[in-house]
Amino acid sequence: MPFRIRAGLLAAIAAVALPQIAPAQTMTAEEILRRIQEQREALARQDRTERTRTLKFVDSSNPAPSEAEAAAVVSTAPAAPAAPGEEAAPAPVAPAATAAPPGSAAPALLPAAATETLPVVEERIAIDLVVYFEFDSAVLRPEAREQLDQLCTALSRDTGTYEIIGHTDAAGSEDYNLRLSRARAQEVVRYLVKSCGIAPERLRAHGLGEARLKDPANPRAAVNRRVEIQVAS
């Protein structure tokens, strides 16, 4: 059997045999609203005491602020090249106030209510969004606005409160990923408040870093880098 045909057959068999990882998504406002409602219905089915016990506070996703964390992290040194589909290991970080491009207002790392363990939402109702940032930075890229505007529209049509959760892949240190994911979540909150008029008390930013990989078998895969939206109420 020719090599090309044999390789194609093996790929087809693998695609069927291996579990498929759902990628982060680009969603319309209507799709986001539908999943928000489904998440809210799932919350309503939970026992109230169980929900109270699950949503507790812990320091792990709310690292103590330092001088370097007074603003969103932005790379100031070149990073080593990465394999296709992977984000390179992060370079040293510096305050965004000195490294961000002109006109790109990066968010301060404000104190946020961090939870012990945010619930794991079922895949079918999860809202894992593709939000583009500058490399190793919390500065939004221009193409991120289309997805964030869809999110703005959805949240404007709803009245609930939400957890905005940043996730990274496993490249770099655990502490770095935690800070970067939290800064990115806070930048999404900043955008929703400043550009869309969403009341800030309706949004809480969290950074889980690499703690909840979407594809643990491929810890550096792009699918792990995402912003998740969860219904809080």
Is residue 116 in some structural domain?
Answer: yes
Is residue 16 in some structural domain? no
* Residue 214 is assigned to a structural domain of this protein: yes
Percent of the chain past pLDDT 90, that is, above it, reads 49
* Tokens coding 200: 């800030």
- DSSP symbol at 25: B
Residue 144, in any domain of the structure: yes
Instruction: Say if 191 falls within a structural domain.
Output: yes
Question: Is there a domain that residue 11 lies in?
Answer: no
Residue 195 lies in a domain: yes
Q: Can you give the residue range of the structural domain that contains 184?
A: 21-75+90-231
Give tens-digit pLDDT for 22-80: 566 789 999 999 999 999 999 898 755 564 544 443 344 444 444 444 344 443 334 44
| Cα–Cα distance, 142 to 124 (Å, whole number) | 29
Q: What is the arithmetic mean of pLDDT over 98-127?
A: 59
How many domains does the chain divide into? 1
Q: 106 in a domain, yes or no?
A: yes
Inform me whether the pLDDT recorded for 214 exceeds 60: yes
Whether 113 contacts 204, CB under 8 Å: yes
Give the least confident one: 35-44, 51-60, 158-167, 180-189.
51-60
Nearest to 189 by CA among 121, 124, 113: 113
DSSP 223: G
For residue 225, give the CATH number of its domain. Answer: 3.30.1330.60
Q: Tell me the percentage of the chain whose pLDDT exceeds 70.
A: 60
What pLDDT score does 119 carry?
Answer: 86
